[in-house]
């Protein structure tokens, strides 16, 4: 086929990311939508719970934040440190093999910090065992987990307790299974993932590559490496294991990988979007030029500190950012124009924010800074 233009890459990515006019239909109606969304996306960034909830909600038109929160309480998806040392939403049955496959590097990278904190391998082992005992058949808040670890003779002051909890999650011992107000609630992963998948390594690499290319493609190899945190050799092995479902394509930005079935499908209609800061439209790629369309990345990630601002997206391109303030019955949104939009484009952005306000059950009030 002919080389894909940047516009075609952008359109295919929107469809892959479930951010087009048929997104609700693509996932199917009815119960289980949150589970299907997370599985279809492979994993969804979730260090900020409110952003993760809207990342799911924007792909399921008509659901509310309460619907998504209830689905997470039912463990349709769980939050855990599955890759890159960062919290993600993942399907429960896949959490075990994903953490095993992708956490060797993050755990090794955290070793120096644990040494600075005075945490030994023996401390980690005692912490893990304390969590296994305290969480056996029950759930505890983060504070309750730290109390259990301390009772086992391991100090949790400073960041020590946090590092033990994260390492236990990266080792596949625990996961976040809910919220109690602002506090995370932990459970044993084996208690939540009652029917875990256990693919062999080659199969797991192939599954990971397939899910990523299907949910993000077209992508470059380094996009896959950046998303998974795996070395390129593992990513290439995964692409090979994916078989004919993943194909190489030429684009004006260089060679990429695409989901074969998506190339032959009709392009769904685009929609104007108000996305949360950590949505995969940007975060899911090493090279974000197609979606930024000339907007400096520093306008969305000021300081390059990994904290992404919420974005306004027209025709698949970022045109602005926004931040919210919750009121009793309204959500105040301060919008920032990054491209010098006209009145009509700004009105489109304002309408794009209405589904978010409905998701929260509040009235939108938009102002431009």
Per-residue pLDDT of the chain (369 residues; tens, 9 = 90+): 579 999 999 999 999 999 998 765 556 556 689 999 999 999 999 999 999 999 999 999 999 999 999 999 999 999 999 999 999 999 999 999 999 999 999 999 999 999 999 999 999 999 999 999 999 999 999 999 999 999 999 999 999 999 999 999 999 999 999 999 999 999 999 999 999 999 999 999 999 999 999 999 999 999 999 999 999 999 999 999 999 999 999 999 999 999 999 998 887 788 999 999 999 999 999 999 999 999 999 999 998 778 899 999 999 999 999 999 999 999 999 999 999 999 999 999 999 999 999 999 999 999 998
Q: How far apart are CA 276 and CA 286, in angstroms?
A: 18
pLDDT of residue 27: 61
- For the record, the structure tokens of 66 come out as 């309460």
**What pLDDT is attached to residue 305?**
76
Question: Which among 182, 17, 207, 170 is positioned nearest to 96, based on CA atoms?
Answer: 170
Which residues are registered as beta bridge partners of 185? Answer: 141, 178
Q: Can you read off the two tokens belonging to residue 88?
A: 């993600």
- Those residues whose C-beta lies under 8 Å from the C-beta of residue 303, and which sit 6 or more positions away, are none
Q: Are strands 273-275 and 310-314 parallel, antiparallel or unpaired?
A: antiparallel
Q: Is the CA virtual torsion 258, 31, 274, 315 positive or negative? A: positive
Contact at 8 Å (CB) between 256 and 9? yes
Question: Looking at the DSSP assignment, which residues form a beta bridge with residue 183?
Answer: 180
Q: How far is residue 329's CA from residue 14's CA, in Å, rounded to a whole number?
A: 32
How many Å apart are CA 10 and CA 273, to the nearest integer? 14
The helix (H) or strand (E) run that includes residue 43 is none
The DSSP bridge pattern shows strands 330-337 and 317-326 to be antiparallel
Cα 326 from chain centroid? 23
CA-to-CA distance for 120 and 102, rounded, in angstroms? Answer: 22
Total number of residues shown for the chain: 369
> Which residue has tokens 């309204």?
330
| Both tokens assigned to 35 | 């589970």
- What residue ranges in 8-132 does DSSP mark as E strands? 44-45, 78-83, 86-90
Q: Report CA-CA distances (Å) from 235 to 44, 101, 198, 219, 222.
A: 19, 12, 19, 12, 9
Q: State residue 1's pLDDT score.
A: 58
Q: Provide the pLDDT for residue 303.
A: 80
The structure's pTM equals 0.93
């Amino acid at each position: 086929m002919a080389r894909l233009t940047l516009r075609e890459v952008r359109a295919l990515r929107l469809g892959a990311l479930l951010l087009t006019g048929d997104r609700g239909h693509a996932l199917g109606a009815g119960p289980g939508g949150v589970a299907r969304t997370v599985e279809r996306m492979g994993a969804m960034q979730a260090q900020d719970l409110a952003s993760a909830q809207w990342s799911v909600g924007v792909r399921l038109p008509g659901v509310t934040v309460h619907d998504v929160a209830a689905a997470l309480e039912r463990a349709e998806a769980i939050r855990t440190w599955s890759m890159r040392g960062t919290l993600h939403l993942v399907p429960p049955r896949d959490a075990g093999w994903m953490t095993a496959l992708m956490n060797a590097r993050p755990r090794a990278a955290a070793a120096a910090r644990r040494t600075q904190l005075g945490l030994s391998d023996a401390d980690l082992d005692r912490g893990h065992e304390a969590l296994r005992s305290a969480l056996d058949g029950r759930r505890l808040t983060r504070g309750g987990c730290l109390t259990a670890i301390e009772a086992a003779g391991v100090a949790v002051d400073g960041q020590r307790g946090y590092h033990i909890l994260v390492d236990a999650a990266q080792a596949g011992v625990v996961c976040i299974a809910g919220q109690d107000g602002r506090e995370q609630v932990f459970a044993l992963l084996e208690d939540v993932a009652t029917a875990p998948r256990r693919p062999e390594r080659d199969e797991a690499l192939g599954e990971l590559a397939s899910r990523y290319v299907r949910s993000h493609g077209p992508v470059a190899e380094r996009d896959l490496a950046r998303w998974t945190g795996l070395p390129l050799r593992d990513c290439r092995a995964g692409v090979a294991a994916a078989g004919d479902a993943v194909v190489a394509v030429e684009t004006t930005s260089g060679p990429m990988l695409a989901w074969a079935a998506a190339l032959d499908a009709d392009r769904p209609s685009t929609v104007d979007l108000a996305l949360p800061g950590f949505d995969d439209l940007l975060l899911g790629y090493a090279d974000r030029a197609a979606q930024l369309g000339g907007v400096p990345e520093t306008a969305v990630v000021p300081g390059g500190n990994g904290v992404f601002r919420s974005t306004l997206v027209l025709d698949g391109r970022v045109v602005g950012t926004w931040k919210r303030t919750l009121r009793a019955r309204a959500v105040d949104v301060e919008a920032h124009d990054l491209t010098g939009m006209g009145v009509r484009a700004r009105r489109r952005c304002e309408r794009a924010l209405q589904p978010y306000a409905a998701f929260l059950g509040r009235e939108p009030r938009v102002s431009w800074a």
